[in-house]
Copies of this chain bind each other. A is one copy, B any other.
């Protein structure tokens, strides 16, 4: 089993990741399918529905792969360990429930209303990532403290609701009843008003009727917001961040420890092969090289390990444990990007040209030209902003674009001449640049060849312009301060995987749940078709109908995702809550409040904590020496 395990872990199961992705993406295709141009319920054409058995056949293949994976894993760790492992037990359960549900589905010819397996699918994603499991554990640890803040927040909300109801009763004078009428009519309304105020989504509106009567009432609302939104909500951020302090450092340490263990195990395995013909505590170089050639790893690491270090021991033919450990130290080193030497030209003219073209001012000039191009496009856009696409004369635009693209092309050729082909490609910046330049050229030629007479080809020109704007991003690495911030953001993306995974899980579950609960709940008035969309039908301001939120509904998976995203952003989320309360029952508020809490309170705070942790980690690393230093300090602190 050890060897199977080594094989299973050395060839990382990329296939499994793909399977998970496929299973999760099925939600877009399954009924209700998201394959329509728009999700607007007013003028949505019936989407393409997959025939029965299409998604189901893909799904069963994926489920079988999961079963295989489970079988291998259980074989590897043995029954005793398997029983103790809660994740694997749940994995078994989830797979079996899915298969049972699948069979039911097939037997009902895909006409089932409730598809339980959709809801539990995200479990596969969670189960497959140790990072996500760790993050979940981290969240679990903060729960008691979070609960105390939530309790205080609930108390805060309840007390202010009562005080609000006492302050704004129905009075004799109907003119002074606005506040009571709209926001404090009864207990649920008052509670909702203040809960929404906690998210700031109805901020000035909720206090306007009262404030308009008397300035003093503003104190009530401001003290509620300051205590609730600013103090308590940010305290929640602090608590979550506090738990995640040192999270990155810990995960780096863990992965280093795990690698050490792995190297030790590999040594044992290779040694045992060799047990007969050697003194024991050493491994043959040949075996190491053979293994190295079959391992999946980035090529420069492999080269570094095999070429530099192993050669040293080539004469002996064996290496001992210490030596074996040392050759893998290469993995700790960051790749130093070595640029190949510039080509040597004999001609003096060529040499001078080479100096000119590889000078940094040449890059600056290139940036200036790119900026000029963007400014040109911007000017044309501003001048044409009132013309419709048909009226615009794209000829000038195309000529300008062509000139600039020719310059870009020549810049690229000249750089290749100065740095040689390999030298050019060794800069990431150049790859980005060259790729976009070639793409632009191809597009521009297409435009010329196919549609040269037809100047209304706005779509293509538009795409070219977007690419030009995009290409302008090449200036970022050349501005030092920006490069720093941009690299922090890029690093963030790397560390984001676990968090993004959790986000996917919660979005998936809430979207599937939302579709169950609210599919087709909101129906537009029958007289609203494509024609009279602009006609003003009278609805109250600020409602779902007046704001035209029709495309945000739970009628398919993609639309549900966007709706959930909009609620996560918080602004105007009360419009959604209000609409679904009116079209269904009061209880739909629970769903929206749950989602607000999960996404906006928990996840956004997690995200902020991650950014803080990432930035301070990077800062500490650049100011301290190495991981081990920080490790030592940490030990002394605790």
Contact = CB atoms under 8 A, between A and B. Distances in A.
Interface of A: 34, 36-40, 42, 144-145, 147-149, 151-152, 155, 159, 162-163, 165-167, 169-172, 175, 185-187, 200-205, 208-209, 211-215, 218, 222, 225, 229-232, 234-235, 237-239, 241-242, 245, 374, 377-378, 381-382, 384-390, 392, 458, 462, 465-466, 469-470, 472-473, 476, 479, 481-482, 484-486, 488-489, 492, 530, 533-534, 541-542, 546-552, 558-559, 562, 565-566, 569-572, 575, 604, 607-608, 611-612, 614-616, 619-620, 623-624, 630, 633, 636-638
Given A148-B482, A204-B566, A611 B211 contact: no
Nearest to A547: B205
B623 A633 contact: no
| 6 A-B pairs with the lowest CB-CB distances in the bound complex, closest first | A148-B481, A541-B541, A238-B615, A203-B571, A170-B388, A40-B212
A215 B558 contact: yes
Contact of A171 (B145, B389, B575): B389
A578 to B, nearest CB: 13
B469 A159 contact: yes
A556 to B, nearest CB: 10
A163 B469 contact: yes
Contacts of A171: 388-390
Contacts of A608: 234, 237
Given A205-B547, A235-B615, A571-B571, 12 more contacts: A37-B215, A38-B213, A38-B214, A148-B484, A170-B386, A186-B386, A201-B571, A215-B551, A235-B485, A238-B611, A541-B546, A620-B637
A527 to B, nearest CB: 16
A242 B488 CA distance: 14
Nearest to A184: B385
A187 B466 contact: no
Given A170-B386, A187-B382, A388-B169, A612 B611 contact: no
A147 B211 CA distance: 38
Contacts of A185: 385-386
25 contacts: A39-B211, A39-B215, A40-B213, A152-B486, A155-B476, A162-B377, A169-B462, A186-B382, A186-B385, A201-B571, A203-B572, A204-B549, A204-B552, A208-B551, A211-B551, A230-B607, A231-B489, A231-B492, A231-B611, A238-B612, A239-B615, A242-B615, A541-B542, A542-B542, A612-B612
A202 B462 contact: no
Contacts of A172: 388-390
A198 to B, nearest CB: 11
A293 B611 CA distance: 53
A162, A204, A381 pick with most chain B CB within 10 angstroms:
A204
A507 to B, nearest CB: 12
B612 A163 contact: no
B562 A611 contact: no
Contacts of A458: 169
A37 B213 CA distance: 7
A476, A550, A611 pick with most chain B CB within 10 angstroms:
A611
Contacts of A234: 607-608, 611-612
B162 A378 contact: yes
Contacts of A152: 476, 482, 485-486
Contacts of A201: 571
A166 B462 contact: yes
B378 A144 contact: no
B386 A481 contact: no
A38 B247 CA distance: 52
B612 A237 contact: yes
A458, A615, A620 pick with most chain B CB within 10 angstroms:
A615
Given A234-B611, A569-B225, A208 B38 contact: no
A401 to B, nearest CB: 13
A615 to B, nearest CB: 4
Given A172-B390, A547-B208, A385 B187 contact: yes
B385 A165 contact: yes
A208 B637 CA distance: 52
Contact of A214 (B37, B205, B542): B37
Given A170-B386, A230-B607, A386-B186, A144 B633 contact: no
Nearest to A378: B162
A424 B155 CA distance: 27
A636 B638 contact: no
A472 to B, nearest CB: 7
Nearest to A463: B166
Contacts of A237: 608, 611-612
A546 B155 CA distance: 34
A2 B212 CA distance: 56
Contacts of A470: 159
A167 B463 CA distance: 9
A542 B34 CA distance: 31
